[in-house]
A and B are shown apart, each in its own frame.
Chain A
Amino acid sequence: AQSVSQHNHHVILSEAASLELGCNYSYGGTVNLFWYVQYPGQHLQLLLKYFSGDPLVKGIKGFEAEFIKSKFSFNLRKPSVQWSDTAEYFCAVNRASGNTPLVFGKGTRLSVIA
């Protein structure tokens, strides 16, 4: 069965610091990859997704993620975080074929302090 690991449970950063959240998955075939974000009191929303093509994908609010197939990773990055980036971040993956449901990681809580 597929699984998704997000190694950092809680990350605390100062404003303007750089962010990298790790995501690794355990499926060897072709996959679709997603990052979702849940801001306090708001719905889960899509940050970015990778289906194929350029492994460096750009999402909303200055976030980007890089798919490294050899490492089964899809890490999320942002060069300079803001207080408003405080949220919970979820990585998700599914098989590219066969219409399989998304498997989510357990999430990483990001707290940005002024």
Chain B
Amino acid sequence: KAGVTQTPRYLIKTRGQQVTLSCSPISGHRSVSWYQQTPGQGLQFLFEYFSETQRNKGNFPGRFSGRQFSNSRSEMNVSTLELGDSALYLCASSLGASGEGRQYFGPGTRLTVT
């Protein structure tokens, strides 16, 4: 079975721009969670989607949004980028809801905002 894939792997954007990141979960997995990983803050939960519905949301501003499609693929969008948005964005998928069991992580998208 293929693992969780994320595209693109690296991205450089300018302040004020917007960006869309994509995540394809493991086949059959219905839950997709997004995390922001930075050296200072570690992993911080952004949101979780389950069967196309946002199930949980972390403490991030409204510039961060996401969605999930009927095939469970998910996208995350960040509008009006700020320098502080530079981070590794990780996607994780699981069979059921994220908190019920094991999550499988993708390699991440490294976003640099200049």
Docked Cα-Cα span, A45 to B44, in Å, equals 16
Residue numbers in A under 8 Å from B98 (CB-CB): 99, 101-102
Residue numbers in A under 8 Å from B17 (CB-CB): none
B33 within 8 A of A: yes
B106 within 8 A of A: yes
- Is A101 within 8 A of B107, CB to CB? no
- In A89-107, which residues have CB < 8 Å from any B CB? 90, 92, 94-95, 99-107
Q: Quote the shortest CB–CB distance from B90 to chain A (angstroms).
A: 7
- Is B55 within 8 A of A49, CB to CB? no
A43 within 8 A of B: yes
- Is A49 within 8 A of B102, CB to CB? yes
Residue numbers in B under 8 Å from A94 (CB-CB): 99
- Is B41 within 8 A of A106, CB to CB? yes
Q: Quote the shortest CB–CB distance from B82 to chain A (angstroms).
A: 21
A32 within 8 A of B: yes
A44 within 8 A of B: yes
- Is B58 within 8 A of A90, CB to CB? no
State which of A45, A100, A101, A103 has its C-beta within 8 Å of the C-beta of B105. Answer: A45
Q: Quote the shortest CB–CB distance from B80 to chain A (angstroms).
A: 25
Residue numbers in B under 8 Å from A56 (CB-CB): none
Q: Quote the shortest CB–CB distance from A43 to chain B (angstroms).
A: 5
- Is A102 within 8 A of B99, CB to CB? yes
State which of A45, A46, A49, A103 has its C-beta within 8 Å of the C-beta of B45. Answer: A103
- Is B43 within 8 A of A100, CB to CB? no
Residue numbers in B under 8 Å from A90 (CB-CB): 42-43
Q: Quote the shortest CB–CB distance from A70 to chain B (angstroms).
A: 23
- Is A100 within 8 A of B107, CB to CB? no
Residue numbers in B under 8 Å from A106 (CB-CB): 41-42
Given contact pairs A32-B99, A94-B99, A102 touches B106 in the complex (Cβ within 8 A): no
The 6 closest A-B pairs by CB, nearest first: A106-B42, A44-B105, A104-B43, A94-B99, A99-B97, A101-B56
Chain A interface (Cβ < 8 Å from any Cβ of B): 32, 36, 43-46, 49, 90, 92, 94-95, 99-107
Return 25 A-B CB contacts under 8 Å, by A number.
Answer: A36-B105, A43-B4, A43-B105, A43-B106, A43-B108, A44-B90, A44-B92, A44-B105, A45-B104, A45-B105, A46-B103, A90-B43, A99-B97, A100-B99, A101-B33, A101-B48, A101-B58, A101-B98, A102-B45, A102-B99, A102-B103, A103-B45, A106-B41, A106-B42, A107-B43
